[in-house]
């Protein structure tokens, strides 16, 4: 009883059939699981094994997350490329339509010019008595009328272009 050492090494007296038996508690092992030590904790080997499994699971999750992110990036990039193609096609179509309109407008102008050359419109003339000779002021009036007609044509063309 005067034994001074670690608590777990202290022998305990057990009554067995009225005879005294010394028993060492340090060697008692739970028979159900030989990998557990006397306090019921897992051994270092089991702890390391579980740690490795947990780390592997985390790595797999991270790898899956990275793969998902990469797939999302690829899809987003493909979507952007598709949108760029659509915008480019629309711009190309718009440009072609604009060129077509410009050509049609140019052809229409040429046809109008040719028709004017072939069939000139009669000029608007003010009533002039035959007795009076044409004065320079009347010629100026005719020129003013022609300029006015030209301005009207320009305005019509501007409206058509818009």
Residue 40 to residue 51: CA distance in whole angstroms: 18
Does any domain span residue 136?
no
Total structural domains within the chain = 1
Does any domain span residue 125?
no
Contacts (Cβ under 8 Å, ≥6 apart) of 155? none
Task: For 5-132, list the strands marked E by DSSP.
Answer: 12-16, 19-23
Query: What would the pLDDT profile of 1-58 be if each residue is shown by its tens digit?
Result: 565 655 555 455 554 444 555 555 555 544 544 555 555 555 788 889 999 999 999 9
Enter the pTM of the model: 0.35
Percent helix, strand, coil in the chain (nearest 5)? 65, 5, 25
Name residue 13's beta-bridge partners. 22
Q: Which of 13-22, 46-55, 85-94, 143-152 has the highest mean pLDDT?
A: 85-94
Q: What tokens were used for 60?
A: 């797999």
For 70, the domain range is 7-120
Does any domain span residue 151?
no
């Amino acid at each position: 009883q005067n034994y001074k050492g670690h608590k777990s090494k202290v022998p305990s007296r057990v009554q067995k059939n009225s005879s005294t038996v010394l028993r060492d508690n340090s060697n008692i092992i739970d028979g159900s699981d030989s990998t557990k030590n006397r306090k019921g904790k897992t051994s270092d080997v089991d702890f390391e094994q579980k740690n490795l499994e947990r780390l592997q699971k985390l790595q797999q999750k991270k790898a899956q997350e990275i793969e998902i992110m990469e797939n999302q990036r690829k899809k987003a990039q493909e979507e952007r490329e598709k949108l760029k193609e659509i915008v480019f096609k629309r711009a190309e179509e718009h440009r072609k339509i604009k060129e077509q309109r410009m050509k049609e407008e140019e052809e229409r102008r040429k046809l109008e010019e040719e028709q004017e050359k072939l069939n000139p419109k009669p000029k608007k003339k003010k009533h002039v008595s035959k007795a009076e000779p044409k004065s320079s002021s009347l010629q100026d009036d005719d020129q003013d009328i022609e300029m006015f007609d030209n301005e009207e044509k320009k305005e019509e063309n501007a409206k058509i272009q818009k």
